[in-house]
Structure 1
Amino acid sequence: MRRIAAIALVLTAAVIAEEVTRGTLLGLRPLWPLCDTIGGKHATNAVSTRCLTRVCYWLGDCGQWAAPVDWTNRVAPGDPVSKLVLWLGEPERRDGADLLWSYGKGGDGMFRAVIADGHLVNLQDEKTQAPLRGAQQRQQ
């Protein structure tokens, strides 16, 4: 009986480790509500679907998104950088502590995340320094 319990414990630990690092099971469409519940984001490509969590920030595999500006309504001032990178993807550039992304494919310009002490201060257009609407709407 102890042997079965030990095997079950090892299998459970392996599944948890896989989900934390890769998110394959929670990436399956029927399990998307569980991904949402743990604060994850669905990532789908031609080959697979996975559930990304903030752990991707520390692993450096949050990926890049086609239009990160579309996700700015998911972050707000005070959020940690790990949440920012989860929702917006890996930044294209770093400028000191600040992170920069393009608005989308095709060189539409860039927007900046102003970071202080590991947390988001604000999101702004790189050229005009005007706050982004998505971030403004969430603050109100």
Structure 2
Amino acid sequence: MPLAQAEQKTDAYFADVFAALPQPVTAVADRDSGGMCVKGDAPSEEDGRIMVVTSDFLRGIPADRHGAVFDAFRAHMLKAGFEVTSSSSDAVFFKNPKDGFTASIDDGGDWTTTLTIGFVSPCVWPNGTESPAG
């Protein structure tokens, strides 16, 4: 999958889950970026692949509504084929075994009215295939 398709997919996952959350919720982009991937046998050496990282703050959610938003996020991600990989009282992490994308929701730390959701693609080649030199 090329980088542009991975970006579209993280955006689509976000739009789908955002529509399923109890409203009103205001999304504020935290970061849309890419992380460099490394060679499996040389963890400090980049291999040319990139993972797309999309993270958004959900603002204006009173603390007493956090549970409902977490529950809606979890239900939607499970319905979309994701599986829970880790869960605590303030964060839940998911992975889709079919496409390798991950998702998360957390309580935003010290911000009592903010949650953070994020989606990360698997490592992809910018043009979809490894370059001949790579």
> Which TM-score applies when normalising by structure 2?
0.30
Larger radius of gyration: 1
Higher relative contact order by CA 8 Å / sep ≥ 6: 1 or 2? 2
Q: Please state which structure has a larger fraction of its residues in strand.
A: 2
Q: Please state which structure has a larger fraction of its residues in helix.
A: 1
